[in-house]
């Protein structure tokens, strides 16, 4: 017989032999609704069998709901006992939303850290170019202990010494002009050599011209200058570009 839940209309195929003449209480496995199910009506006396047919009649095809549900085989109970139906098989659960959200948050933080590290590396690696474009950043780099030259052109390996030529004192100043930027830059056309005394007071200076107008990225241009009979009080030589 077909048993239909009056609450959710779920259908079940059950064995009529499990019902006593007074009926019994049953419970729906889907919605847990309980009700008293009367026993099925007795079947009428069988009618005379018809003549055998040449072909057998097609068998009845049960509905999908009838095939997927089964009446629970519980232990026998009294006439007024309750019989429950077996629940459907549980579907394996996918990873919870909270776990996926935690992974997304962690990936977001990792990406942010990588971006900050990349910005920091670029700021240090290309500080000369940044200072050349935004000269005000030179003070920021200086504050964290990184030396930069906002113009991109600087001096390196500056040295000076006294020599004696034909009984006359000669001061020789040497050094290199370097391009610290990543692009070709013009060289200021006047280099100023300043002599100072022991108290760093200027006592003499003279200009020289570099041997090239521009310097390629990372390029080096050496320079050399001589001063005959330098002041006796001169103790230091300072090399700089003359301001226009």
pLDDT tens for 197-228 read 999 999 999 999 999 999 999 999 999 999 99
Q: Which pLDDT does position 178 carry in this prediction?
A: 94
Give a yes or no: residue 56 inside a domain. Answer: no
Q: Is 78 part of any domain?
A: yes
* Cβ atoms within 10 Å, residue 210: 18
Q: Is residue 47 part of a domain?
A: no
- On whether residue 66 sits in a domain, the answer given is yes
* Average pLDDT rounded to a whole number, residues 89-111: 76
pLDDT, position 215: 93
Residues 115 and 146 in one domain: yes
Give the count of domains, the chain.
3
Is the pLDDT at 103 greater than 90, yes or no? no
At residue 75, the pLDDT reads 39
**Within a domain: 53:** no
Condensed to tens digits (0 to 9), the pLDDT of residues 149-158 reads 656 888 999 9
> What pLDDT is recorded for position 77?
43
- Decide if 27 is inside a domain: yes
Domain boundary among 151, 174, 197: 151
Q: Are residues 112 and 175 in the same domain?
A: no
Q: Please report the pLDDT score of residue 72 as a whole number.
A: 42
Same domain, 177 and 210: yes
Q: What does DSSP say about strands 236-241 and 185-186: parallel, antiparallel, or unpaired?
A: unpaired
Domain region containing 68: 1-42+61-89
For residue 69, tell me if it sits in a domain: yes
Rounded mean pLDDT, 28-35: 85
The arithmetic mean of pLDDT across residues 37-55, rounded, is 66
CATH assignment of the domain containing 197: 2.60.40.10
Q: Verify that 68 and 113 share a domain, yes or no.
A: no
Percentage of residues in the chain having pLDDT higher than 70? 69
pLDDT, residue 2, reads 79
Cβ-proximal residues to 240 (8 Å cutoff; 6+ apart), any chain:
155, 191, 192, 194
120 and 204 fall within a common domain: no
Same domain, 197 and 167: yes
Task: Indicate if 108 and 125 belong to the same structural domain.
Answer: yes
Higher pLDDT, residue 74 or 115: 115
> Do 221 and 188 sit in the same domain of this protein?
yes
Asked, for residue 182, whether it belongs to a domain, the answer is yes
Average pLDDT for residues 49-54, to the nearest whole number?
Answer: 60
Q: How confident is the model at residue 132 (pLDDT cuts 50, 70, 90)?
A: low
Same domain, 173 and 211: yes
Residues 160 and 103 in one domain: no
Average pLDDT over residues 179-190: 88
- The better pLDDT of the pair 76, 244 is held by 244
Q: Does residue 165 sit in the same domain as residue 186?
A: yes
Residues 163 and 107 in one domain: no
Q: Are 161 and 154 in contact (CB under 8 A)?
A: no
Q: Tell me the pLDDT of the chain averaged across its residues.
A: 77
Question: Residue 45: its pLDDT value, please?
Answer: 63
Scan for tokens 């990936």, then name that residue.
Answer: 107
């Amino acid at each position: 017989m077909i048993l239909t839940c009056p609450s959710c209309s779920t259908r079940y195929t059950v064995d009529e032999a499990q019902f006593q003449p007074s009926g019994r209480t049953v419970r729906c496995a889907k919605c847990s609704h309980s009700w008293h199910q009367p026993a099925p009506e007795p079947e009428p006396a069988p009618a005379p069998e018809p003549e055998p047919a040449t072909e057998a009649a097609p068998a009845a095809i049960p509905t999908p709901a009838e095939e997927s549900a089964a009446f629970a085989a519980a232990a026998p109970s009294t006439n007024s006992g309750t019989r429950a139906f077996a629940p459907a098989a549980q579907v394996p659960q996918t990873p919870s939303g909270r776990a996926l959200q935690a992974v997304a948050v962690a990936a977001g933080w990792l990406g942010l850290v990588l971006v900050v590290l990349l910005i920091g590396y670029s700021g240090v690696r290309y500080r000369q170019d940044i200072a050349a474009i935004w000269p005000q950043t030179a003070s920021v780099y200086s504050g964290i202990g990184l030396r930069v030259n906002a113009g991109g052109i600087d001096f390196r390996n500056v040295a000076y010494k006294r020599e004696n030529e034909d009984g006359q004192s000669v001061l020789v100043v040497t050094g290199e002009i370097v391009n610290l930027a990543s692009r070709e830059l013009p060289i200021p056309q006047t280099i100023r050599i300043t002599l100072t005394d022991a108290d760093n007071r200027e006592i003499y200076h003279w200009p020289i011209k570099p041997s090239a107008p521009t310097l390629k990225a990372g390029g080096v241009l050496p320079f050399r200058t001589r001063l005959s009979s330098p002041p006796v009080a001169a103790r230091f030589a300072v090399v700089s570009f003359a301001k226009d």
